[in-house]
Amino acid sequence: MDDNGDVGAVLVLLLLSAACLATPGGTDPPTVPTAVSQDAQEIELRVGGSAPVHGTGATVRFDGVSDDSRCPRGATCVWEGDAIVELSVSGEGGGSPETVRLHANARFSQQARALGVTLTLVRLEPLPEADRPVPPGAYTAAIRVTR
């Protein structure tokens, strides 16, 4: 191979290496709010995690998932199933938190209002596997919060 071919091969390898380094992989999802707009934000929480809702004094906590009947990966199902995401919304005054339940299935309510904020379930991960359910603490929920 001539010098031009060697230089070209090196450039291709460098570009591929840079692309691999720039691709996130295996990182933990953020547990802090990410701004979506001035009146909305999307937060991603693991079970037990919480995040403040900017500009409201409210805090959202991901308490857990109940009734996860979603169709497992690798299975053939008659219907897509559902899972219920349980959240607590508390105010800065320290009163009793309000409990909110959001469904993963769009046929049911994926949105609720508590303490002046509207919560919408964007996604729930991971999906169950055909041969094993998701451990209770392994869930991550993405929630859109609007005022």
28-146: CATH, from 2.20.25, 2.60.98, 1.10.12, 3.30.70: 2.60.98
Which H or E run contains 35?
Answer: strand 34-35
pLDDT tens sequence across 36-55: 345 689 999 999 999 999 88
User: What are the boundaries of each domain within the chain?
Assistant: 28-146
Say which residue, 129 or 1, is predicted with more confidence: 129
pLDDT tens sequence across 53-90: 988 889 999 999 998 999 998 888 998 999 999 999 99
- Average pLDDT of the chain to the nearest whole number: 80
CB 60 within 8 A of CB 89: yes
| pLDDT confidence tier of residue 5, bands split at 50, 70 and 90 | low
Question: Rg of the Cα trace of the chain?
Answer: 21
Structure tokens that stand for 40 in this block: 């909305």
Q: Which residue has the tokens 């409201």?
A: 56
Q: What is the pTM of this model?
A: 0.72
pLDDT at 21: 39
Say which residue, 9 or 54, is predicted with more confidence: 54
pLDDT at 92: 83
pLDDT at 133: 85
Say which residue, 140 or 129, is predicted with more confidence: 140
